[in-house]
Amino acid sequence: MNVPLLVPDFLRRSALLFPEKLAIVDGSHRFTYAEFETRVNRLSHALRAEGLRKGDRVCYLGPNSHRFLETFYATAQIGVVLVPLNYRLAASDHEYILNHAGVKAVLADHELVGVVDTIRDKLACATTFIVAQDGGKAADGWTAWENWIADSPTSRPDPVDLDENDLVSINYTSGTTARPKGVMLTHRNCYVNAYGLIAHLGFCHEDVELWTLPMFHCNGWGGVYALTGVGGTHVVLRAIDAERIFELIATERVTLACMAPAVLSAILEYEHRERHAVTTRPRFVVAGAPPPIDFVRRLEEELGWDFLQIYGLTETSPLLTLSRPDHATPRTDYARRARAGTPAIGVDLVLRDDEGCIVPRDDSSVGEICARTNVVFAGYWEQPEETERAVRDGYFHTGDLAVWDSVGNVHIVDRKKDVIISGGENISSPEIEDVLFAHPDILDCAVVGVPDPQWGETPLAVVVVRVGADLSPDEVVAYCREEMAHFKCPRRAELIDRLPRTATGKVQKFKLRERYWEGDRRVN
DSSP category for residue 158: P
What is the CATH topology of the domain spanning 1-187+214-238? Answer: Rossmann fold (3.40.50)
Asked whether the domain spanning 240-380+394-417 has the same topology as the one spanning 1-187+214-238, the reply is yes
Mean confidence (pLDDT) of the chain = 92
Give residue 414's identity as a one-letter amino acid code.
D
Is 5's pLDDT higher than 70? Answer: yes
CA distance 344 to 373: 10
Nearest 5°: CA angle at 108, between 63 and 39? 85
Quick one: pLDDT at residue 78? 98
Question: Which tens digit of pLDDT belongs to each residue from 290-321?
Answer: 777 888 999 999 999 999 999 999 999 999 99
Domains of the chain, residue spans: 1-187+214-238, 240-380+394-417, 420-517
Q: Give CA–CA dist 494/480, Å, rounded.
A: 14
Q: Which of 116-120, 279-283, 413-417, 468-472 has the lowest mean pLDDT?
A: 413-417
Q: Is 80 exceeded by the pLDDT of residue 414? A: no
| More confidently predicted of 437 and 178 | 437
409 has pLDDT over 70: yes
Instruction: Write out pLDDT tens, residues 144-188.
Output: 999 999 999 999 999 999 999 999 999 998 643 457 899 999 999
Q: Quick check: 123 and 97 in contact, CB under 8 A?
A: no
| DSSP calls for 103-146 | EEEEEEEGGGHHHHHHHGGG-SS--EEEEE-SSSPPPTT-EEHH
Q: What pLDDT band is residue 76 in, cutting at 50, 70 and 90?
A: very high
pLDDT score, position 176: 38
240-380+394-417 CATH fold: Rossmann fold (3.40.50)
Nearest by Cα to 207 from 175, 179, 174, 235: 235
Whether 522 shows a pLDDT value over 60: the answer reads no
Domain 420-517 - what CATH class?
A: alpha beta
* First-to-final CA distance of the chain: 44
